[in-house]
Amino acid sequence: MAAFEDNPEEWQRLDWRILVNGSINLYFRQEILNESIYWFLQNKYIMFAFNCSKWLLEEDFHKEIKEGLNFPDYYGENLSAFNDCLRGLDVPYEGGAIIIFQRYDLFYKRFPDITHDILDIIETNSRRLLLTGRRLITLVQSDDPAISLNSVGACPVMWNSKEWLKQSRGL
């Protein structure tokens, strides 16, 4: 996909509003996440969705991510291999790809360092893909409205625009 056009209409696109601050956006309410997913599907993005509540061990993440992202058989099931294989993810030029992590808060509570590294790897690869006109965006859903993730790829992990204010998350 070509770069965004520099006009106010483009600036209203959901992908623009996310990518202007990094490629990862937090969600609390499922209905707002569903609205975003719908928008992405309507705009020719492909979707990779994962339920993180099932990930009791780091190995569970690697097993499901290998299958869900169609990583090759030689995938080494470690974060270095995740980075290497994510570089080769088939992201279409028209539209893009979204990775959805549901209940990331549970995985984060078990493995805060690993979960940060995962998002950092995705952010770095998203930026790399943007150089060739491909868009990779990650939507992270948390049932914890107070979750605060450290910056990844030197970009903050921001709440989506509808839940940015704490009061919109009941806080």
Q: Considering the chain, what percentage of its residues have pLDDT values greater than 90?
A: 85
| Complete domains list, the chain, with CATH | 8-161 (3.30.370.10)
- Residue (of 140, 162, 107, 106) closest to 27 by Cα position: 140
What are the pLDDT digits (tens) for 8-48? 887 889 999 999 999 999 999 999 999 999 999 999 999 99
- Alpha-helical segments (H) within 20-70: 30-42, 58-68
Q: Answer whether 0.85 is exceeded by the pTM.
A: yes
Tell me the CA distances in angstroms from 72 to 47, 79, 89, 122, one per residue in order. Answer: 19, 15, 10, 18
Indicate if the pLDDT at residue 1 is higher than 60. Answer: no
Q: In Å, how far from its chain's centre is CA 34?
A: 14
